[in-house]
Amino acid sequence: MTKEQIVKIFHEKFGAEAPEVYTSPGRVNLIGEHTDYNGSFVFPGAIDKGMIAAIRFNGADKVKAYAIDLDESSEFGLNEEDLPKEGWAKYIFGVCREIIKRGGTIKAFDTVFSGDVPLGAGMSSSAALESTYAFALNDMLKLGIDKFELARVGQSTEHNYVGVKCGIMDQFASLFGKEGHLIRLDTKTMEYEYFPFDPQGYKLVLLDTVVKHELASSAYNKRRESCEHAARTIAKRHPEMEFLRDATMEMLLEVKNEISEEDFMRAQYVIEETQRVRDVSDALERGDYKTVGEKMYETHHGMSKLYEVSCDELDFLNDIAREHGVTGSRVMGGGFGGCTINLVKDELHDSFVADAKEKFKARFGHEPKVYDVVISDGARKL
């Protein structure tokens, strides 16, 4: 939706006075999955799909919000007990509350928003929504909160108002995204580096299973608990260790008998994935996309067999990619449905997509959705 379109809808809902318009994107992640809550590395980039919102302070004591795509309205106050019942409104409310908790004063506003980042596809539509409002309110109210803290505002919204104990990757990518660049973020130190990403002769393609499994958020939180338990157990012998990211396989093996088999598998995945992100950084610097691709397949295998966040649909797409000679492919994001991200040679792109659509439909009764990835800028005023 363009700025003009959203402003028009705003006027229809809330009258003639002009709103401000902000946008914030979803993200892809090349590699480094389920590592961000383990103090490890991620490799995301913002995409050309996101959320757009028109906002104007209303001088009243209630926020009035309209979700254009759902044709639903919500009205809520700004005190802790005013949690709205609409799922989408909780994100906006949570962002306001988290800013207030950090000492910021929020004035009530009228707003309409819309998005083109697919919901539940693993491209972080919720982080795009949080970042849009966090960035906008900070800018409009001149609160002076830096972008790292704005990312934490979004993350705490997930923790405290949505119930997902997520890491920082999605909100970070949505706020810090830069056109044509992926970002390697060290979630322990919050140091980050932009990597130009323009692989000559390759495309990044997302295949969306359009499957979203129930209980994904409780399964996500459970993975996090497993990792933290393994990390705490290792830290008893190695007190210098802060996050699972600091552990080696040798250290994990020392506590094998003290943790469950499940926790062991989760931790093994994280330790291996940490090494893979390092390998991919080196490979990217050499322009070695073959290695990047191999690591992506290894990640898929780990996410499927050790971390157990894949599903039949995702594994099926991964198999098709491999059979088709695609350079790299893996489940992207939290898992339990959503997309695979595929690094495909230009000349294979069309035949791979056609092949995947046909075989997937024959097996599951519907085609996957296809998105070509364009790496774009982060949150901004329009």
Q: Catalytic site residues?
A: 170
Q: How far is the CB of 169 from ligand GLA (least distance, A)?
A: 5
Please identify, among the stretches 110-118, 130-138, 167-175, 374-382, the one whose residues bind ligand GLA according to the rule CB under 6 A.
167-175
Q: Under the criterion CB under 6 A, does residue 333 sit at the interface with ligand GLA? A: yes
Q: How far is the CB of 243 from ligand GLA (least distance, A)?
A: 13
| 261: Cα within 13 Å, side-chain hemisphere | 2
Bridge partner list, 203: 344
Phi, psi of 63 (to 5 degrees): -80, 135
- Work out the number of other CB atoms within 10 angstroms of the CB of residue 200: 7
- Work out the number of other CB atoms within 10 angstroms of the CB of residue 146: 10
Q: How far is the CB of 154 from ligand GLA (least distance, A)?
A: 10
Q: Under the criterion CB under 6 A, does residue 36 sit at the interface with ligand GLA? A: yes
DSSP 8-state secondary structure symbol assigned to residue 318: H
Q: Under the criterion CB under 6 A, does residue 21 sit at the interface with ligand GLA? A: no
Site map (CB under 6 A) of ligand GLA, residues 112-131, x = contact: ------------x-------
Task: Please give the single-letter amino acid code of residue 17.
Answer: E
Smaller CB distance to ligand GLA: residue 82 or 308? 308
Residue with tokens 């290894």, as numbered in its chain: 298
From 21, 31, 33, 284, residue interacting with ligand GLA (rule: CB under 6 A):
33
Alpha carbon distance 37, 140 (integer Å): 31
Alpha carbon distance 99, 377 (integer Å): 24
Please identify, among the stretches 128-136, 161-169, 288-296, 367-375, the one whose residues bind ligand GLA according to the rule CB under 6 A.
161-169
Please identify, among the stretches 17-25, 165-173, 227-235, 286-294, the one whose residues bind ligand GLA according to the rule CB under 6 A.
165-173
Smaller CB distance to ligand GLA: residue 55 or 184? 184
Report CA Rg, the chain.
21
Answer yes or no: are the C-beta atoms of 318 and 328 closer than 8 Å.
Answer: no
Smaller CB distance to ligand GLA: residue 10 or 269? 269
Alpha carbon distance 32, 40 (integer Å): 8
Q: 338-360 burial string, b = 16+ CB within 10 Å, else e?
A: bbbbbbbbeebbeebbebbbebb
Q: How far is the CB of 365 from ligand GLA (least distance, A)?
A: 27
Q: How far is the CB of 334 from ligand GLA (least distance, A)?
A: 3
Window 334 to 373, contacts with ligand GLA (CB under 6 A):
334
Residues that bind ligand GLA (CB under 6 A): 33-34, 36-37, 124, 166-167, 169-170, 333-334
